[in-house]
Each structure stands twice: as C-alpha cells, then as structure tokens.
Amino acid sequence: MTNGGSDYTEAPVVHIVHGAGGGVGTAAIQLAKTKNIKIIGTSSSWKHNKLIKMGVDKCIDYKNENVVEKLEKYCPNGIDIYFENVGGEITKMVSKFLNKNARVPIC
C-alpha cells in the first residue's frame, strides 16, 4: 500500500463490519476474505449462519448482546479496520478498541 499501512499479509488483522448482513456489508466481507484478515460482523442474530458460511470468523448480535464484552473477547489486541455501514452507538463502542493507524472506511 502506498499510505504506509499494512499490506494485510501480516496476521492477524482484525476487521469489524457493522451491518454485515446487508448488501454493502456482505460486499465488504467478500473483499476482506481475499486477504488474511480476521472478520467480525455485527448483524441481527438470524443472519449469523449466513455470515459464518461467507467466512466471518465471529458474529455479534448488536441488538441483543453486550457489544463491548464481545469486542473485548474477540479483539484482545484491538481493531485494525472498522467498516462503518450503519452509524450510531456501535461506532462509539468500537472506537475504544481501534489500534493506532486503524482504518475506518465509512459508507
């Protein structure tokens, strides 16, 4: 990459996709799966099976689960990429886990 960031070959890079079950979120997942990236997706629980089949490593039901507890468990070394697809309180929660030089594309 020309911006001095990771070329995504060093594992583990942790990528959070908020709104992973929608059309834009699934596209972000497909792009991330072409690299050596650990993907955590937020969505309603009824979409989790589909996301796991797509290659998402962990899912968080942002409506019914404690998101901060899940992020602490799934991202003990922080978050490298946060794909913001929805906005709101989840962004505030995720921001506390962002690593230095993390990337946050906003849709």
The pLDDT of residue 107: 84
The pLDDT of residue 2: 31
Look at residues 16, 28, 12 and name the one whose alpha carbon lies nearest to residue 93: 16
Instruction: Tell whether the model's pLDDT for residue 1 goes beyond 80.
Output: no
77 token code pair: 């070394």
> What mean pLDDT is predicted for residues 78-94?
92
pLDDT tens profile 3-25: 334 444 454 689 999 999 999 99
Whole-number average pLDDT of the chain: 88
Calpha distance 51→78 (Å, rounded): 21
* 18 three-state secondary structure: strand
> What mean pLDDT is predicted for residues 64-72?
96
